[in-house]
């Protein structure tokens, strides 16, 4: 604590990490996926609410269920990736607050009364958890290919019962499926031969102000 990590770790996590679209024929084990979750779960979230839910699609059958929802340019890279994660969020995340944030019982009521606050909180924090997933994956030697080119409604219907009566969903705001897709991320061991040159980034002065 209080010390930067080694420069090689910064290379792995940031400077040399790329977005991959082609994959080596090397599988990702379930143990690696469990290790991935055991790192990313430490991501900070508002009220420790951890609204993200992760569906790891590994089988051909699961990938075929995803295929119709993908933008055409994302089909090949996704169907060939060893794993595709749906990073989703649960709009009933507040039901876990008595366990996750026991010091403030009032929080549960606050969320129960405000679907707008629920949506904003769930989106913001599941995006952060998704970013932690990318960093944790890189720390474990995996490569990532995040994607937002897909049909949300199709994925929510296929994987999260959107539009269908949902057992236990008796909340007035969310009568149907209560888990919604945020973004997708392919995971595997990338093929560096297929990478294009790195795109530029904004400089400190373009993106930041010191006040």
Q: For residue 87, report the phi and psi dihedrals to the nearest 5 degrees.
A: -90, 110
Q: Which of 195, 175, 209, 201 is nearest to 77 (CA)?
A: 195
Residue nearest to ligand FMN (CB): 149
Minimum separation from the CB atom of position 58 to ligand FMN (A)? 20
Q: For residue 89, report the phi and psi dihedrals to the nearest 5 degrees.
A: -140, 145
Minimum separation from the CB atom of position 198 to ligand FMN (A)? 5
Q: Which of 108, 183, 189, 191 binds ligand FMN (CB under 6 A)?
A: 183
Minimum separation from the CB atom of position 84 to ligand FMN (A)? 12
Minimum separation from the CB atom of position 18 to ligand FMN (A)? 4
Distance CA 211, CA 203 (A): 17
User: Tokens 């039901």 map to which residue?
Assistant: 95
Q: What are the residues whose beta carbons fall under 8 Å from the beta carbon of 24, sequence distance 6 or more?
A: 188, 189, 190, 191
Q: Which of 131, 134, 141 is nearest to 12 (CA)?
A: 141
Residue 18 sits in the site that holds ligand FMN (CB under 6 A) = yes
Residue 199 sits in the site that holds ligand FMN (CB under 6 A) = yes
Residue 84 sits in the site that holds ligand FMN (CB under 6 A) = no
DSSP 156-171: HHHHH-TTS--TT---
* 3-class state of residue 207 by DSSP: helix
Residue 151 sits in the site that holds ligand FMN (CB under 6 A) = no
Q: Which of 13, 117, 146, 158 binds ligand FMN (CB under 6 A)?
A: 146
Count, residues near ligand FMN per rule CB under 6 A: 10
Enclosing H/E stretch for 61: helix 60-66
Candidate ranges 27-35, 47-55, 103-111, 145-153; the one touching ligand FMN (CB under 6 A): 145-153
Q: Which of 22, 115, 117, 149 binds ligand FMN (CB under 6 A)?
A: 149
Candidate ranges 7-15, 60-68, 97-105, 144-152; the one touching ligand FMN (CB under 6 A): 144-152
Minimum separation from the CB atom of position 123 to ligand FMN (A)? 12
- Torsion sign over Cα 171, 177, 183, 184: positive
Task: Tell me which residues touch ligand FMN (CB under 6 A).
Answer: 18-19, 74, 146-149, 183, 198-199
């Amino acid at each position: 604590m209080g010390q930067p990590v080694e420069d090689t770790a910064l290379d792995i996590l940031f400077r040399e990490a790329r977005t991959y679209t082609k994959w080596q024929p090397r599988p990702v084990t379930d143990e690696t996926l469990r290790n991935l979750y055991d790192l990313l779960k430490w991501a900070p979230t508002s009220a420790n609410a951890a609204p993200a839910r992760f569906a790891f699609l590994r089988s051909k059958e699961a990938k075929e269920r995803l295929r119709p929802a993908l933008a055409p340019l994302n089909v090949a890279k996704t169907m060939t990736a060893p794993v595709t994660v749906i990073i989703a969020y649960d709009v009933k995340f507040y039901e876990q607050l008595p366990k996750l944030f026991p010091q403030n019982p009032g929080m549960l009521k606050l969320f129960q009364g405000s679907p707008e606050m629920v949506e904003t909180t769930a989106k913001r924090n599941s995006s952060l958890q998704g970013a932690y997933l990318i960093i944790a994956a890189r720390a474990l030697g995996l490569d990532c290919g995040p994607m937002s080119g897909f049909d949300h409604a199709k994925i929510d219907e296929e994987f999260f019962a959107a539009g269908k009566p949902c057992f236990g969903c008796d909340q007035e705001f969310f009568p149907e499926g209560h888990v919604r897709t945020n973004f997708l991320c392919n995971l595997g061991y990338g093929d560096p031969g297929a990478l294009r040159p790195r795109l530029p980034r904004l400089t400190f002065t373009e993106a930041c102000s010191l006040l």
